[in-house]
Amino acid sequence: MPCDRLELEKREQQILAPYAQLSCESLGRVHPEDSPEWRTEFQRDRDRVIHSRAFRRLEYKTQVFLNGTGDHLRTRLTHTMEVAGIARNIARALRLNEDLCETVALAHDLGHAPFGHKGEEALNRLMVDHGGFEHNVQSLRIVEELEQKYPGFPGLNLSWETREGLAKHHLFKGGAKPEMTRSFKQPSLEAQVANLADEIAYYSHDLDDGLESGLISENHLKRHVEIWRLSCDQVEKNTSSLSKEGRRYFVIRCLIDDMAKDVVLTTEQRIESSGVGHSNEVRCLSEKLVDYSFERKRWNAELREYLYRNLYYNPIVHEPNLKAVRMLVPLFHYYMEHPDKMGAQFGRQDVEQGRPRAVCNYLAGMTDRFVMLECQRLFGAELVQGGNMGELPPQDETLKSPVVTGKKHEPS
């Protein structure tokens, strides 16, 4: 007999920890649908994310280096896939729901603007009088409104638990019974794991890309970053035949493995101490349970500071990104004056949500490549190459996004 949804849900009840989020206990979807026959609710969510247009566009959006800079450098899509792999491994070790964890990881960056966090900051400033822009909120907007794939509803109609995981910095209660969510203060453990897997991925893989590009060196890292020095010592004790490049890759691998192991062991202790016995008890706690050890936090803070100083704000990375971001300025004003050029979907948003938000949605969905092509088509190649595209408005302190304020998850 084929393995149907009921059998899959039964397996979850037998295998997963009592505090894991079970598929059969989902709070459901905004628009009622028949349950899938051969998949759980969260497996359906995962497939809807993967098949979305927003997911495909991540291939041409900047992670750290401007898209197209190098064949081996990460894009927003490869970063997302790496986050999903790390998240699944941690979830499996903690006996959590891997499908939910993977789905949140795959969808977590759907709302990212072109040109990485510089693009996010630019849109935030262009929208200073209209509610600002923040990529986590935009990810929710994409799955709830902007994707148009199904006849009976807008968006992807994902489960409450997946959308809860996408909210990140914002307490999510939408689309569920108020009496059930009134006391919720934290997201599920699966959402917390996906959140920390994002950190592990960008700490290690941005470091890898920095080394690949030659902007940072191993010798410099050894002198200034303890976590790199420890990983190098670990590799040198256990390997002798690797090439220089192979050894570097293995150091990165050890770095990821050590971070994931630290999260698993630390979180296991925190779960046991909390005494939680159900996923909703996790949500009612005042603090998150998924975390690093104190020592690992200290090491990661040192690595993060090093990456900002030597990679993210390195002129070779920073200046091309700033030049590219300035292309969003004339495009924003052009579409404000010519909303008919955005297509029928965004014309409807112009009426329903106001023109600035419709224009912002349109720009945020663009890939790096499409922004450049549109600027060349509308304003000419000479103007684009010269970088004289206009000035961004000053940043409103009340609308600063996490990338500007230095909150957690800046490079994600």
Q: What contacts 24, CB < 8 A, 6 or more positions away? A: 9, 12, 13
User: Tokens 């297509």 belong to which residue?
Assistant: 343
Q: CA torsion angle for 404, 406, 408, 411 (degrees, to 10)?
A: 60
**75 beta partners:** 62
Residue 95 has pLDDT above 50, yes or no: yes
Radius of gyration of the chain (CA): 22
Range from 136-140, 221-225, 270-274, 336-340 that averages highest in pLDDT: 270-274
Look at residue 190 and tell me whether its pLDDT is greater than 50. Answer: yes
CATH 1.10.3210.10 location in the chain:
5-322+401-405
CA–CA gap between residue 346 and residue 344 (Å, rounded): 6
- pLDDT above 50: residue 16: yes
The residue-averaged pLDDT of 67-72 equals 65
In the predicted structure, residue 403 carries a pLDDT above the cut 80: no
C-alpha 327/C-alpha 140 separation (Å) is 25
Measured CA to CA, the distance from residue 282 to residue 183 in angstroms comes to: 11
Strand partners, 155: 148
Total number of residues shown for the chain: 412
Whether the predicted pLDDT of 293 surpasses 50: yes
Q: What is the pLDDT of residues 21-41, one digit of tens each?
A: 999 999 999 999 999 999 999
Write the DSSP symbol of residue 55.
H
| pLDDT at residue 179 is higher than 70 | no
**Longest CA pairwise span in the chain (Å):** 65
CATH architecture group of domain 5-322+401-405: Orthogonal Bundle (1.10)
Instruction: Tell the residue number behind the tokens 């505090």, with chain if given.
Output: 19
Q: How far apart are CA 142 and CA 135, in angstroms?
A: 10
Spatial separation of the C-alpha atoms in residues 279 and 350, rounded to whole Å: 40
CB 262 within 8 A of CB 292: yes
Q: State which of 40-44, 71-75, 240-244 shows the largest mean pLDDT.
A: 40-44
Where on the phi/psi map is residue 214: left (φ > 0), alpha (ψ -120 to 50), or beta?
left
Cα(290)–Cα(199) distance, integer angstroms:
12
Torsional class of 172: left (φ above 0), alpha (ψ -120 to 50), beta (otherwise): beta
SS3 112: coil
Q: Choose among 161, 173, 108: nearest CA to 139.
A: 108
- Cα–Cα distance measured from residue 294 to residue 312, given in angstroms and rounded to the nearest whole number: 25
- Cα separation, 104 vs 90, in Å, equals 14
The string of pLDDT tens digits covering residues 124-154 is 999 999 999 999 999 999 999 999 888 889 9
Q: How confident is the model at residue 379 (pLDDT cuts 50, 70, 90)?
A: confident
